[in-house]
Structures are given as structure tokens and as C-alpha cells.
Amino acid sequence: MDGTFLNDAKTYNRARFQQQYQRMKQQGIRFVVASGNQYYQLKSFFPEIASEIAFVAENGGWGGDEVVRYLQTRSEIEIIACGKNSAYTLREYDDAFVTMAARYYHRLERVDDFSNIDDTFLKFGLNIDDSLVPEMQALLHEELGDIMTAVTTGHGSIDLIVPGIHKANGLRLLQAQWGIEDKDVLAFGDSGNDLEMLRQAGYGFAMANASPAVKAVARFEAPHNNDEGVLAIIEKALNQDTPFR
């Protein structure tokens, strides 16, 4: 969503998309929102059709107490534990961080600690200064790489997910349910947590604003997210223009 379907103001051309979505339905095309963001936040962008479309949200799984203990030794990290029912962050964090987090996690509770929470956890969202992201990603890989994978979101944060549980895995489950082959999948991405999905999709598009690593694995490139790049490519697919002939 961020940096891909949404522009930098966190909006999209709803009228244009609604017209496209009706054409998708007529052509038997499924629309899936695949994002590391919270399910409840993602639903809020598509209130009219949320019951019709599919979501691959918070792609990951819970790593256990060992992960929590390590993360809390890193004072430069602010932690969001992302559960099925809600996201959770610590009361000790300042209000500015919580306000920012609430933009991405529409269900967010402040707790004294992460123990004894009755929920099924999906991933950790880690907030950190942009300049420290590469160093911290390498450190997390060294310390936790056998149980969790650190992927960049491209927006000043890192997601910790269970290895092998990512957007591509979620899409694969939906494809099996619907009988859709990889070659018939069109996917878009801009950051490190999109790599597996773009490799898997027959039509993997990196946004013009994507990181070099994403552009290196994607077969195609879409216009910038601020130029309605996703909608422009969807238009081509609906019209069966190149490369969809």
C-alpha cells in the first residue's frame, strides 16, 4: 500500500479505481491487498468492497519470548507487537510515536509489557531512525536470523516475520483456492518485504520509486506511486495492452 497503491498523502484515486474494479469483476479478475500493514487499517481504504476482496495482511508469525527479551535490550527501537485482534505497544513510549503508529494500526493498545497478552501474534513492527535501518537489519539477522527474518518496509521501519511466511506465501494460498497460476498474477511493490512476491508473480512490477533491490528482481516497472502508477498498469491489464497481450 504505502509507496505503491497509495500516494505520499496516503490517498488514491477512488473514482478511477472503482471503475477499474467493476471491470475486474466483469473479467473474473481477483483483487488482493497484500501488505505488511494491519488488516483493520487496510480494510479502511476499501469500505465499499472490503467484503468482496482478499487481504494478505501482517505477513508473519510470533517468534516468542526470546525475541521480546532481545528487542527490549535495544533502546533505539520502539516495538509494536502485531496480533490478530489488535496491535500492542508500550505505555512508556511517547505520545508522538503512538500517534504515528495509530495511522498504520487502527486497533492499537498500550500495555505495560508484552507478556500475558491473549492474542495470536503475527509479526513485530520496529520503529527506528532511518539512518540506522541497514545496521539494525544486519544485527537482527545475526541475533535472530534462525527464528525471525528482518525485512525493510521502505518507510523508516523494519518488520520481523517468521522465515517463509511472507506476502508470496499468502498469495500462494489464495491462488491454490482460486486455481490461479503464478504466470497469471500481477503484483506491485516498492520495498524489501515485496521481493518474494515480485519474484513469484508472472507480472511483477517495481514502482518507479522502488528501492534498487526491488527493481533488480522485478521483470517490469510501473510509474511512480504519486503518478497513480498501479492504476495505470491495471488499466493496461484490463485493456490487454503490452505486456499483457
3 burial type by CB count under 10 A (0-12 exposed, 13-18 middle, 19+ buried): buried
- Please, what's the b/e burial string for 14-37 (b: 16 or more CB within 10 A of its CB; e: otherwise)? eeebeebbeebeeeebbebbbbbb
pLDDT tens, 109-122?
Answer: 999 988 778 887 77
Q: Is residue 43 part of a domain?
A: yes
Q: Is residue 178 part of a domain?
A: yes
pLDDT tens, 171-195?
Answer: 998 999 899 999 999 999 999 889 9
> CATH number, domain at 38?
3.40.50.1000
CA dihedral (132, 206, 61, 170) in degrees, to 10, reads 180
Residues 80 and 157 in one domain: yes
Cell digits for 229? 502508477
Report pTM. Answer: 0.69
Q: Reduced to 3 states, what is the DSSP secondary structure of residue 176?
A: helix
Q: Is residue 2 part of a domain?
A: no
Residues 157 and 170 in one domain: no
Q: Is residue 244 part of a domain?
A: no
Q: Which long-range contacts (CB under 8 A, 24 or more apart) does 18-24 make?
A: 18/48, 20/231, 20/234, 20/235, 20/238, 21/49, 23/238, 24/234, 24/238
pLDDT tens, 19-71?
Answer: 999 999 999 999 999 988 888 889 999 999 998 999 987 753 344 566 777 88
User: Does residue 18 contact residue 47 with C-beta atoms inside 8 Å?
Assistant: no
Q: Quote the Cα angle for 35-137-203, to 5°.
A: 35
Block residue for cell numbers 500500500: 1
Q: Is residue 182 part of a domain?
A: yes
Q: For 139-164, give the DSSP string.
A: HHHHHHTTT-EEEE-SSSEEEEE-TT
Q: Is residue 108 part of a domain?
A: yes
